[in-house]
Amino acid sequence: MELLQNGPIDGPVYIFAHGAGADMQSEFMTQVAERLADKGIRVIRFNFPYMIKCKEDGKRRPPDRAPKLLAAYEAVIRYLACPVIIGGK
């Protein structure tokens, strides 16, 4: 699992998920993460499984169904093992 982090190591943690058309490294995602980090919020970004596949083979795909998206969120939450706030684009 690849995670991107902005902001302090401690403090509030916001898990920030991408939308259907762009990945965790998009300009929008990066700008929002940097602005939140400037406010002292630790921002964690990740790619959903369908976006990982898009990056691997270059083919656009629709988002996975909700159970698979929720499982990806849950994996990140378990990995961080701390209280978090989740959200996305």
The span from the CA of 46 to the CA of 8, in Å, is 17
pLDDT in tens, 71-89: 999 999 999 999 999 998 8
Model confidence band, residue 1 (pLDDT cutoffs 50, 70, 90): confident
pLDDT at 75: 96
Q: What is the 3-state secondary structure (H, E, C) of the chain?
A: CCEEEECCCCCCEEEEECCCCCCCCCHHHHHHHHHHHHCCCEEEEECCHHHHHHHHHCCCCCCCCHHHHHHHHHHHHHHHCCCCEEEEC
Using DSSP bridges, classify how beta strands 3-6 and 13-17 pair: parallel, antiparallel or unpaired: unpaired
pLDDT, tens digit, for every residue of 52-78? 999 899 888 899 999 999 999 999 999
46 pLDDT more than 90 = yes
pTM, full prediction: 0.90
